[in-house]
């Protein structure tokens, strides 16, 4: 049950992220693509720009996950 709750919290937090954040996270975490390829897929960004976007996306996801927790 706890795993199911965590999965739902993650799903809801991802849905609240901007589309480019979700895409960067998906391409890196699920498809395991290098940052250069992620940048290309995200509109011709450099690998460095894609890495920075991914880092911002991770931070925002962590914030969203914290916001979705029950304070009890």
- What pLDDT does residue 69 have? 60
Confidence of residue 67 (pLDDT cuts 50, 70, 90): confident
What is the pTM (predicted TM-score) of this model?
0.85
Closest CA to 34 of 49, 22, 51, 59: 51
| pLDDT digit string, tens, across residues 5-41 | 889 999 999 999 999 999 999 999 999 999 999 999 9
Do residues 34 and 46 lie in contact, with contact meaning Cβ atoms separated by under 8 Å? Answer: no
| 22 vs 16: CA distance, rounded Å | 9
| 49 vs 45: CA distance, rounded Å | 6
């Amino acid at each position: 049950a706890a795993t199911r709750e965590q999965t739902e919290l993650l799903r809801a937090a991802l849905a609240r992220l901007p589309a480019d954040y979700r895409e960067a996270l998906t391409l890196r975490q699920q498809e395991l693509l290098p940052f250069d390829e992620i940048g290309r897929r995200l509109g011709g960004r450099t690998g460095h720009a894609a890495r920075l976007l991914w880092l911002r996306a991770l931070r925002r996801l962590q914030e969203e996950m914290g916001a979705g927790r029950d304070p009890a």
